[in-house]
Amino acid sequence: MDSFILLSLPQSYVKLANKAVRENKLKVASALYFKAAESALEAYKKTHDNEEKEYLEDFIRNNIDLARYYNPAKKEATVSKGKSNSKKEIKDITAFDIPSKTFEDVAGMQSIKKDIEKKIIWPVTDPEDYRKYVGGGCRGVIMYGPPGCGKTLLAKAAAGEANKSGSSVKFYKVDQSDIKNMYVGNSEQNMRNLFENAAKNQPAIIFFDEVDSLAGTRGKDLSGHRKDLANEFKSDFDDITDKTILVIGATNHPWNIDSAFVRPGRFEELIFVPPPDLEARAKILEIHTKGREIDNEIDFNKLAGLTKGYSGADLEKICKDAGLLAYERKRNNSENSKINYSDFLKGIEKTKPSLKQWCAEVKDQMIDGRYPDKRVLRKGISEEFKVILDVVDQLEDIF
Ligand SMILES: Nc1ncnc2c1ncn2[C@@H]1O[C@H](COP(=O)(O)OP(=O)(O)OP(=O)(O)O)[C@@H](O)[C@H]1O
Ligand SMILES: [Mg+2]
């Protein structure tokens, strides 16, 4: 939905409220700002678009602030999201996991695994010696790359790998919606609680999905609330110097991350997680059909050759679809019920390579000028991310 349409009713309340302020009818103004926030909340409930949600959150919070400002008696003004009240809105985001997945569950990416061993596993499993040799240890790593290609899986496997050696690394998986809250101060509180809990349970890895929405630039126009949250994030980051906590941020849009976060002491390492290559695709298909009723003759390398441009998640889906076809035959008492080559081909045909859309999006966001000969990186995008364009170029040949 268009933000303009979403906000047309709330904005009409804001206009009336502004008018009331000009006429010095401050209580009326306060009530109208509150109405604006309430009607924006209705729009918030209807949209599933993250950007729109963020925009609306800011809008709601700003208007609640204004409602409170013009009528201090209404200090407790909140808009209720469903049945919850403002206190309950502070989430318990302290649940963690001790992952059992290891690098064996992740196909390919040998050099990335080595990199992760040095940058993530060593500092959390052997912090004392690591400090003696390397210093304060790395505190944060950004994993970036296309969707469905193993960032979350790699992060979990890194914790699982660390635990193989007898450590007990806790893994906190945090989505932006776990942190963000539309009431003033609550998001910052969520962030603080998270870091405090990880400190109590160290060694720990905190994994932030879509980290650009918490540490994003849209720098200059960050609203007060988002700035407060980003500042809280930075300060919590700075407080883990002497703790065995590693922060991993994952994003598909690394150029959106505020450079204040990408520096020594915060996210000091960037790891590109690319689409799976031929070998990795064969292995992903193998991993995701392990233990299933599969025809022994299946040549995964051949299937991998047909799936360039498919993400790990796409390949997992193809395995499921192929399995379902064979299972249907089994239910119909067919003799030929093993998952066979033709089932995989049908699965491939049915699934569109999701990286196609990613390629288009990346070009749109990264490149200025005519593609491909006169292209230049958009202002503010680091040369480091050119590696993404190389991958896009290779994939575009097949789409
Ligand atoms: N290299 C791989 N080996 C095995 N499975 C993989 C691999 N890459 C992806 N997958 C499978 O694809 C699914 C999606 O992977 P994952 O969630 O790690 O992607 P992501 O990069 O975090 O995506 P997003 O950016 O959308 O969060 C997982 O369930 C995983 O099983
Ligand atoms: Mg992920």
Integer-rounded Cα radius of gyration of the chain: 25
What is the total residue count of the chain? 399
Establish whether residue 107 lines the binding site of ligand 1, counting it when its CB lies within 6 angstroms of any ligand atom.
yes
Establish whether residue 312 lines the binding site of ligand 1, counting it when its CB lies within 6 angstroms of any ligand atom.
yes
Please state, in angstroms and rounded to a whole number, the distance separating the CA atoms of residues 265 and 361.
31
| pLDDT for the residue 71 | 78
Please state, in angstroms and rounded to a whole number, the distance separating the CA atoms of residues 284 and 314.
10
Least confident piece of the model among 53-57, 207-211, 227-231, 332-336:
53-57
Establish whether residue 276 lines the binding site of ligand 1, counting it when its CB lies within 6 angstroms of any ligand atom.
yes
| pLDDT for the residue 303 | 96
Q: Which residues face 144 on adjacent strands? A: 251, 272
**Structural element, H or E, at residue 355:** helix 355-366
Provide the pLDDT confidence category of residue 43 given band limits of 50, 70 and 90: confident
Helix 312-331 with 341-350: angle, nearest 10 deg = 130
Based on the number of CB atoms within 10 Å of its own CB, is 291 exposed (0-12), middle (13-18) or buried (19 or more)? exposed
Top mutation candidate among 102, 103, 153, 285 for ligand 1, by most atoms within 8 Å of CB: 153
Let me know if domain 278-350 sits in CATH 3.40.718.10: no
Other C-beta atoms lying within 10 Å of the C-beta of residue 335:
7
Question: Which residues 6+ apart lie within 8 Å of 76 measured at CB?
Answer: 86
- CA–centroid distance, residue 147 to ligand 2 (Å): 7
How confident is the model over 122-148, as pLDDT tens digits?
988 888 898 888 887 668 999 999 999
* Local structure of residue 277 (DSSP, 8 states): -
Q: Which ligand places an atom closest to the C-alpha of 287? A: 1
Question: Which residues 6+ apart lie within 8 Å of 57 measured at CB?
Answer: 44, 180, 182, 225
Q: Which residues face 171 on adjacent strands? A: 97, 205
Look at residue 353 and tell me whether its pLDDT is greater than 70. yes
Look at residue 322 and tell me whether its pLDDT is greater than 90. yes
Please give the angle made by the CA atoms of 190, 75 and 13, to the nearest 5 degrees: 95
| pLDDT for the residue 2 | 53
Please state, in angstroms and rounded to a whole number, the distance separating the CA atoms of residues 216 and 132.
33
| pLDDT for the residue 252 | 92
CATH topology for 3-74?
A: Methane Monooxygenase Hydroxylase; Chain G, domain 1 (1.20.58)
Please state, in angstroms and rounded to a whole number, the distance separating the CA atoms of residues 239 and 186.
20
Q: Which tokens hold the place of 100?
A: 């059992």
- Sequence letter at residue 199: A
Look at residue 81 and tell me whether its pLDDT is greater than 50. no
How confident is the model over 147-190, as pLDDT tens digits?
999 999 999 999 999 998 788 899 999 988 888 876 667 788 88
Mean pLDDT in residue range 363-390: 80
**Same fold flag, 3-74 and 278-350:** no
Q: Which ligand places an atom closest to the C-alpha of 146? A: 1
> Could you say which architecture CATH assigns to the domain 103-272?
3-Layer(aba) Sandwich (3.40)
Look at residue 96 and tell me whether its pLDDT is greater than 90. no
- CA–centroid distance, residue 150 to ligand 2 (Å): 7
Domain ranges of the chain: 3-74, 103-272, 278-350, 355-396
Look at residue 75 and tell me whether its pLDDT is greater than 60. no
